Homo-oligomer: A and B are copies of this chain.
């Protein structure tokens, strides 16, 4: 039998907010980088039931995630095929199963910002309510055993300050990077419940560059010493930073502006105080950890709502 509607909140439903008076005057809205649009697709029919959006850099990882959560929720389809909803564009990949949407965002702040502008408009056009959004990613760790999962308390910039600076019409605008504290605590609790890997809550440094911007010694250019690197990473650690990645600040800022409850869950692939280079083999087991934790949260939430029976 088809599952009934989900009611996750008691009281008034929370909608996804766009803040753009110009949108009302547009006859159609083409979500260009998704290859979707209001005049070409029935967005409420396609996406109206979405309650959880999971985003991550790599398209193949986001496909793995939808396959994994479909299994966890007992929602596998007969052929176990999950078509890319954004077929026709190779900018992002998108998959859906029941109330869960999985979207890739590429690497770096500009790439995820393009995706989030179009995702927030998509959720708005589809009249979605009570949406929780979680970034599941990879990162470099500070003072943590590789494989540790970090749930972000607050994203900070390369000077360890908790803001996102954006340039609009040539002027700098400062935005808050607050995430949902309750959601972070809930994720930590579920990790303890699972007992499969270590999870900590800490600040996440979000940079515009992977090599020089993260004090790596192995880029094409490097004008500092190992000692300079260690001093910088120690200062980051002392300020509360536990991992480093490239998308969390704009993700937090845009989700907060649009009223989406948001969390960032990244596994650490290495301890940056001990090295810089990544090893593809280790990655494959570690990168499943954020997926396992977030799937568990989604399952628990859906059980509580009566959508899903274990």
Contact = CB atoms under 8 A, between A and B. Distances in A.
A35 interface: yes
Contacts of A88: 280
B91 A58 contact: yes
Given A213-B167, A280-B88, A220 B109 contact: no
Interface in A229-243: 229, 232, 235
Contacts of A215: 168-169
A77 interface: no
A237 to B, nearest CB: 13
A90 B280 CA distance: 12
A200 interface: no
B224 A169 contact: yes
Given A110-B111, A166-B209, A228-B169, A221 B18 contact: yes
Contact of A210 (B23, B108, B114, B159): B114
Residue with the greatest number of chain B CB neighbours at <10 A, chosen from A169, A207, A232, A258: A169
Contact of A167 (B91, B158, B219, B280): B158
Contacts of A18: 220-221
B168 A224 contact: yes
Contacts of A113: 208-211
B219 A30 contact: no
17 contacts: A18-B220, A20-B218, A22-B218, A26-B218, A58-B91, A60-B90, A107-B110, A110-B210, A113-B209, A117-B211, A117-B221, A167-B208, A168-B223, A169-B232, A170-B232, A170-B235, A221-B258
Given A26-B218, A166-B212, 19 more contacts: A20-B218, A23-B218, A32-B277, A32-B278, A58-B90, A106-B106, A106-B108, A109-B110, A113-B211, A117-B221, A158-B167, A166-B208, A168-B213, A169-B224, A169-B232, A170-B232, A220-B257, A220-B258, A221-B254
Interface of A: 18-23, 26, 29-30, 32, 35, 57-60, 88-91, 106-111, 113-114, 116-118, 120-121, 124, 158-160, 166-170, 207-213, 215, 217-224, 226, 228-229, 232, 235, 246, 254, 257-258, 277-280
